Amino acid sequence: MLVLSRKENETICIGDQITIHISHIKGSRVRVGIEAPSDVSIMRGELENWASEIDLPLPASITEHA
């Protein structure tokens, strides 16, 4: 895992198609924006875990990377 430090209004680029924007930091909370192609599924980690616990099918792009 790569761990990066970013300040408010800075970005992280993943390849040529995904950009993560750090839009707001307040205390221990960080608000991020994610720009990605429409075929890339984005899901909060706790929701992915919850969906697998109750046997909900996940989008194919998530299960392919699991």
Judged by DSSP in three states, 15 sits in coil
Contact 20, 34 (CB under 8 A): yes
pLDDT in tens, 22-39: 999 999 999 999 999 988
Angle (CA) 12-16-21 rounded to 5° is 25
Q: What pLDDT shows up at residue 59?
A: 60
Which H helix or E strand runs over 3?
none
Residue extents of the structural domains in the chain: 1-35, 41-66
> Could you tell me the pLDDT band of residue 66, with boundaries at 50, 70 and 90?
very low
Contact 65, 55 (CB under 8 A): no
**Mean pLDDT, rounded, for 37-56:** 77
